[in-house]
A and B are shown apart, each in its own frame.
Chain A
């Protein structure tokens, strides 16, 4: 049976991780996407308001997260993927900030990923194309960062996953890093060949693709086996809302305005073997706390529906996981 996951943000509290992971399990999730980025928020990074969380030594960080690891194990929930804090490079930030993000936050995130026994960590590419003039020039810097991580990732058996992102122009969300599946596939192959290990993979974000009108089926077909993890969530096509799938419509008929059929078709065609992981932490904010458990159950129910659609297809036997 295909596994279902959800991000821990808003669902697992540091004060009582045991209750949080038990709640995920009770809702119907086997896996969790550990929201490491919630310990150093992107809005704070952009404001250069950095809290001292990642100043701690790796040992201290491991001590801090030991209860989380134990709680997940006790609940039978696997940490199947993790999100590194982002951005790791702030174009208008000072050198000290960027050095800290690159040389402290990123390697410590990798170590924590290994500590949780998690195989995949999602990172954001650098948003530099507007400064540097082209996506290729932007990628060179992202690649330098990935090359910095690659030996560590190889040693720890972790695959770093780049994600399709957006950028903003006057509030209008437009293509950001990693939105060209052809280029991404070539770059992933090149780096993996260089390191003779699967150090780089892809995280497909359904919400970001929807914002940019990307055809998910085509994109996934192009990525093929390089797709390792998912961020499944929904939005209105205008703002990155991270809401529950199937909840947006733009016509009076109220039919879904997100191409979920294309998404399923793409996953089916590439025989995606991985976890259907929901990045819907913010959706919990939309509901009163007394409904959070039901909300999580509903998300898991949608997950089971998607899993059934994937696995019931005649040619949909998941490819063996390596």
Chain B
């Protein structure tokens, strides 16, 4: 899985040195080449064509689309100096509450410029929001398919895969499901475009902020897209306002208001191996630049954590054999969800009273028994005292791979009650039938 950071709110297009260096120091190795942040903002597009009393400081890219690539040069030079990649780019787009439904031609031109610039910058993917974002038009689908078909030869020539994305439409301030928000329909669009292109030239970038605003089930959304899903834009919000916050920060009553559970379930189910793009411009802008290095270190750790959770099942799959450390609830959760697919050899525990017993079908052994493991058997810590146990294993001189397991986001939860009730009801029904009731 490839983790990127969107530079909006962190890197200035004109003076990109400090922000880019902060991102590099935080450990990011790949940044989004965001033409909407550096070249032509949603606000600029909304005011396109209006008479201005005060002339702009620089010629607007919306009026001079050929300037689009040039506006990213300083950022790209700095990124390269820090050996940062830009594997994904994003074309300019209109704001969600746009009143403009007359800019289809301009958006297509900007998308074409973005494809060229993305190709030159070595990007693999370009996110292009379907046109007329946020405005209801019955012919949206047809118009967009035609636009994307026209862009296909250029995308091929530039070696760039175009990613459609989900977006909101603004109903007088209330954000509703807009173009691309129906995953089944988006999947059908992509298939038709790829068929017309004769190759896989189109995919999808799911904006988690948008699915959250629309209260959508990320698992079902991802499941409908399947292999077409190439990128996920990770941003957090409260489900009501279109903010881009650091994951897990739009919390209320001690819980995140984003459905991370279904995101992880979905990504694991399709064995997602694409790009995770962290977008947190509102959080970044709200913090003082003095605190930004510390914030970005947290952001990197958070993005890594999201990637790790999404990749959990690949991690289990990676080792030929495994043992667990811990004989409690987390071990039980492991056995319920993964015990059959990835059976552990045994589990161990620090509590001597458990040694020699069985837990969820596993023999419970003392930690010393880990010394007898084959070298490539991984030890999965199934206990929240991760670091303490990791230290213990290190002190034992154990050379086996040590991994963490987490039951925070499981494919299902322990829930046998309903099945038991239905079985009992069925039994009672049969008994009634026998008695002739």
Chain A interface residues (CB < 8 Å from chain B): 89, 91, 95, 98-99, 102-103, 128-135, 137, 141, 144, 166, 169-175, 179-180, 182, 210-215, 218, 237-238, 249-251, 253, 255-259
A and B contact pairs by CB, cutoff 8 A, 26 listed: A95-B417, A95-B421, A99-B421, A128-B415, A130-B261, A130-B413, A131-B415, A134-B219, A135-B217, A171-B253, A171-B257, A172-B212, A173-B239, A175-B217, A211-B215, A212-B214, A213-B168, A213-B176, A213-B214, A214-B177, A218-B182, A237-B174, A238-B240, A249-B173, A257-B171, A258-B171
B172 & A175 in contact (Cβ 8 Å cutoff): no
In the bound complex, CA of A98 to CA of B418 (Å): 9
Identify which of A91, A144, A213, A237 contacts B415 (C-beta below 8 A): A91
Contacts of A134 in B (CB 8 A): 219-220, 265
Contacts of A135 in B (CB 8 A): 217, 219-220
Identify which of B213, B253, B422 contacts A213 (C-beta below 8 A): B213
A250 & B173 in contact (Cβ 8 Å cutoff): yes
A133 & B412 in contact (Cβ 8 Å cutoff): yes
Minimum CB distance partner of B251 in chain A: A170
B418 & A175 in contact (Cβ 8 Å cutoff): no
Question: B408 within 8 Å of A by Cβ?
Answer: no
The A-contacting residues of B in range 235-270, CB under 8 angstroms, are 238-240, 251-259, 261, 265
In the bound complex, CA of A102 to CA of B411 (Å): 27
Contacts of A257 in B (CB 8 A): 171-174
Contacts of B420 in A (CB 8 A): 95
Contacts of B257 in A (CB 8 A): 169-172
Contacts of B176 in A (CB 8 A): 213-215, 259
B265 & A133 in contact (Cβ 8 Å cutoff): yes
Of the candidates B181, B217, B411, the one having the most CB atoms from chain A within 10 angstroms of its own CB is B217
Q: Nearest Cβ in chain A — how far from B74, in angstroms?
A: 37
User: Given A132-B412, A132-B415, A251-B172, are A172 and B239 neighbors across the interface (CB < 8 Å)?
Assistant: yes
Identify which of A99, A144, A174 contacts B239 (C-beta below 8 A): A174
A213 & B219 in contact (Cβ 8 Å cutoff): no
Contacts of B184 in A (CB 8 A): 182
Question: B109 within 8 Å of A by Cβ?
Answer: no
In the bound complex, CA of A214 to CA of B253 (Å): 26
The A-contacting residues of B in range 161-184, CB under 8 angstroms, are 168, 171-177, 181-182, 184
In the bound complex, CA of A206 to CA of B239 (Å): 19
In the bound complex, CA of A182 to CA of B185 (Å): 12
Q: Nearest Cβ in chain A — how far from B412, in angstroms?
A: 3
Contacts of A214 in B (CB 8 A): 176-177, 214
B418 & A128 in contact (Cβ 8 Å cutoff): yes
Minimum CB distance partner of B97 in chain A: A251
Q: Nearest Cβ in chain A — how far from B158, in angstroms?
A: 34
Q: Nearest Cβ in chain B — how far from A97, in angstroms?
A: 11
In the bound complex, CA of A220 to CA of B222 (Å): 24
In the bound complex, CA of A172 to CA of B257 (Å): 6
Taking A172-B215, A212-B214, A237-B175 as known contacts, 10 extra A-B pairs with beta carbons closer than 8 A to each other, sorted by chain A number, are A131-B413, A133-B411, A141-B418, A171-B252, A172-B252, A172-B257, A180-B220, A237-B240, A238-B240, A249-B172
Q: Nearest Cβ in chain B — how far from A207, in angstroms?
A: 12
In the bound complex, CA of A237 to CA of B254 (Å): 22
The A-contacting residues of B in range 269-307, CB under 8 angstroms, are none
Of the candidates B171, B172, B257, B415, the one having the most CB atoms from chain A within 10 angstroms of its own CB is B171
Contacts of A103 in B (CB 8 A): 425
What are the nearest 5 A-B pairs in CB distance? A250-B173, A133-B412, A170-B255, A172-B239, A257-B174
Contacts of A91 in B (CB 8 A): 415, 417-418
Contacts of B254 in A (CB 8 A): 170
Contacts of A259 in B (CB 8 A): 171, 176
Q: Nearest Cβ in chain A — how far from B421, in angstroms?
A: 6
Identify which of A99, A133, A141, A175 contacts B215 (C-beta below 8 A): A175
Contacts of A212 in B (CB 8 A): 214-216
Q: Mark B394-426, 1 if CB is under 8 A from A, else 0.
A: 000000000000000011110101101110110
A256 & B253 in contact (Cβ 8 Å cutoff): no
Q: Nearest Cβ in chain B — how far from A35, in angstroms?
A: 26
Contacts of B219 in A (CB 8 A): 134-135
Q: Nearest Cβ in chain B — how far from A176, in angstroms?
A: 9
Contacts of B172 in A (CB 8 A): 249-251, 253, 255-257
Contacts of B212 in A (CB 8 A): 172, 174
In the bound complex, CA of A89 to CA of B259 (Å): 23
In the bound complex, CA of A131 to CA of B262 (Å): 11
B412 & A131 in contact (Cβ 8 Å cutoff): yes
In the bound complex, CA of A133 to CA of B410 (Å): 8
Minimum CB distance partner of A219 in chain B: B177
Contacts of B240 in A (CB 8 A): 172, 237-238
Contacts of B252 in A (CB 8 A): 170-172
Minimum CB distance partner of A137 in chain B: B412
Contacts of A89 in B (CB 8 A): 418
In the bound complex, CA of A99 to CA of B411 (Å): 27
Q: Nearest Cβ in chain B — how far from A125, in angstroms?
A: 13
Q: Mark B343-363, 1 if CB is under 8 A from A, else 0.
A: 000000000000000000000
In the bound complex, CA of A173 to CA of B413 (Å): 21
Contacts of B177 in A (CB 8 A): 213-215
Contacts of B410 in A (CB 8 A): 133
User: Given A130-B261, A214-B177, are A170 and B256 neighbors across the interface (CB < 8 Å)?
Assistant: yes
Contacts of A95 in B (CB 8 A): 417, 420-421, 424
In the bound complex, CA of A45 to CA of B411 (Å): 28
In the bound complex, CA of A165 to CA of B17 (Å): 49
Contacts of A170 in B (CB 8 A): 251-257
User: Given A128-B418, A131-B413, A172-B238, are A251 and B173 neighbors across the interface (CB < 8 Å)?
Assistant: yes
Contacts of A210 in B (CB 8 A): 174
Minimum CB distance partner of A216 in chain B: B176
In the bound complex, CA of A239 to CA of B126 (Å): 36
Q: Nearest Cβ in chain A — how far from B57, in angstroms?
A: 29
Contacts of A238 in B (CB 8 A): 239-240
In the bound complex, CA of A169 to CA of B251 (Å): 10
Q: Nearest Cβ in chain B — how far from A248, in angstroms?
A: 8
Contacts of B171 in A (CB 8 A): 257-259
Contacts of B415 in A (CB 8 A): 91, 128, 131-132
